[in-house]
Structure 1
């Protein structure tokens, strides 16, 4: 790990001197980055992928930005709330089960005790070409250098939202649950506070895979607002992975259902492990709306969700795996007993 300066910040105004967006790598170091739980950042610093000159530790802000609040309007989660804290919260598990499940299935118990919600949604890809600086060709790490994964090892890479410049998959779980529940992200920055749909936080790779979010320089995520809705209780997160513990998704699905008997009155679907960013399958939702939910209609919706999938050799099985994962999530949500 390279030398860096360390500073604990007492308030958001001090933290906003950070530059948490853009690229920080062997090719393009940045002066300052934000440290929350550190479970991703410190890993990448040890690998020499990220080279910040200074870390701003925002953990002193946890008392202000770590609360969990539920009322008639919905759920508000502070960005510095710990993953384990939210996964174990009784009200979250009862009212928004997809959120609790997505967090409980992520990482390991030790990491969930440290990692924050804000840091989790901003975690970097697990693509081995990004994480290994001996590979020069990685447009996320070294813009303009190419994408070694296109013709390399890409079994766990994305099949949705890819470009000729990057096929790295987004690795998180919690983000899919937020997408499925139409969450809003609250942000503070030098120009003041703002809110936006969580679906607008992450960018498609396009020709600039190194720019992963729409955050502006100096902005910090402070909270997530999850609205109450008729589908929130009947929600499910299904994650398929190589092993049952501490593995990233080969495919996952977050679904939220509003049913009238066995007919779909409303549905929300987000996919993980298969796309370059958290992925909302709105066309699949439209295909299910008003339909009787059974295995056949779920599979038709899954076919719609993956009709634009593009594979790259070793991940040719991903569309089928993604379809089956989505069908399973829909049918499991249908069978949930709602109090």
Structure 2
């Protein structure tokens, strides 16, 4: 586990959450959580993985958050299979309590939720020195076995909060061709055939996620900077981009033109990767491995005054496909959408 072009034709998808809450998404799993909670740990991938989103407290009793795990069984799970999996988990809780010379109180029952048939989901809770409220289900649509629990102090009363978090959980996107990612106020989606590449950069003022298309050299990066007014310091977007992208400038040849993104003045860049440095360090080694180099480049950059943020989405593809960036831009929310406009 690791700790941690013109798009007006397709409006932003609104992110609706209760006041004081936000949407968090990772590997296509999304949930509403209190504003104070952030991604604290993650592991695995879209097939088998986990995340923890918590309040960032360090004192044991004060830590509160939601833990989510998923896997993809080879076959559909029956109600008996699901109950067996949950019993195994609750047994491990009981064993852990005994090692601490404590007693564990564990219970489970069929989950009464309109989204799940009673036989395919169960709710549970346990209590030792801390308390957990959770649910487990197997989704027939995405094939994921999900187990999620809100964990907090044993004496804490967070039943309603836990219900709201767990009830908001979605294990897959409404569009199976796209996978949502939401964290630190960044809300975007990337094609489902792209997987997370390397370790993301997750800071309050800067978020960067890189994705690669399986079995290819195609790459997409999504970046968000906070405090745009300080970042820009009265510089134009093209000047700021060239400074931030200085390490790559020598290996890129592109044309830039002004456009509009989500109602904001923006820049659209289209071009190719170029030069001996790029070919010697990346393209030729890829060719020797019988991989087609991703020489085509496209990028979109814009400032959102409403949220005081800068967004940069870039793609490097084997074949010319500037619409890939545009489709991701369409699904990247930079500011709230008014109810009457949604």
Q: TM-score, with normalisation over the residues of structure 2? A: 0.21
Structure number with the higher helix fraction is 1
Structure number with the higher strand fraction is 2
Instruction: Kindly name which structure, 1 or 2, has the bigger radius of gyration based on alpha carbons.
Output: 2
